[in-house]
Amino acid sequence: MTALLKLDKVNAFYGAAHILYDLDLTVNAGERVALIGRNGVGKTTVVNTILGLATLRGGQIHLGAYALPKPRTYMAAQHGVVVVPQGRRIVANLSVEENLLLGAATGRKGPWTVPQIYKLFPILQERAHTPGTALSGGQQQMLAVGRALMANPSLILLDEPTEGLAPVIVDQLAEIFNKVADQGTALLLIEQNMSLVVRVAHRYCAMAKGAVVAQGAVENTRESLLNLENHVMV
């Protein structure tokens, strides 16, 4: 299998604070992987290290065959790895369509165009000329996913995509994530909502204290993961 993302013995810091400890993580082409764990274990720091927002001080990061000796925010997208960030980060002074077009700035070719995004998210076409920040929370999340797809990535990193959203919107997002994955885009889902994880991911990696401490097939541990949300993921 082709590894789209590989972190090997990664150590990452914010200033003097050591957050990731010899972390190993691999996402292969076409995979749907969930990165789970309690608040504060370093899940978002994994994303920030790939983007160069946390400092890599040991280990290696590969995007496909490309090594990232000194990650920078623009490098991941150039190599087919795009982030849907926690909090969505919709650009306030741009319309829905203008926010989507930002995603195409890498110039990567592929199937995702504005018309294709509108087929996936009809509500975005209805609101195409509305300021992006005027959308509801769920619609903004759809816009953030659409913007990521416009980069025609091989892999999307979804950082807490259901945070603060109503269950009915979470259900819609689960369907959308599966549709995107079915069309060939790999997913790394960073999430605490285990009901979403079991509907989307095929494999999970559990983090504790800055490292991956367990992993396995979601199908084999579905009931345990749902129980985990009730008793541990707080």
Domain of 88, in residue numbers: 3-231
**Number of domain units in the chain:** 1
pLDDT value at residue 107: 83
Question: How wide is the angle at C-alpha 110 spanned by C-alphas 108 and 113, nearest 5°?
Answer: 95
> 127 phi and psi, to 5 degrees?
-110, 25
**Pair type for strands 17-28 and 55-56:** unpaired
Task: In whole angstroms, give the CA distance from residue 172 to residue 162.
Answer: 10
Residue 232 pLDDT level (bands cut at 50, 70, 90): very low
Q: What percent of the chain has pLDDT over 90?
A: 76
Residue 220 clears pLDDT 90, i.e. is over it: no
Angle, helices 137-149/167-182, rounded to nearest 10 degrees: 10
Mean per-residue pLDDT over the chain, rounded: 91
Task: In whole angstroms, give the CA distance from residue 227 to residue 68.
Answer: 37
**Contact between 224 and 192 (Cβ < 8 Å):** no
If we measure between CA atoms, which residue out of 92, 99, 7, 103 comes closest to residue 47? 7
Q: Which residues contact 74 (CB under 8 A, 6 or more apart)?
A: none
Q: Which residues contact 77 (CB under 8 A, 6 or more apart)?
A: 106, 108, 151, 153
pLDDT tens digits, residue range 179-199?
999 999 999 999 988 999 999
pLDDT value at residue 229: 59
pLDDT tens digits, residue range 43-77?
999 999 999 999 999 999 999 999 988 898 889 99
CATH of the domain at 113: 3.40.50.300
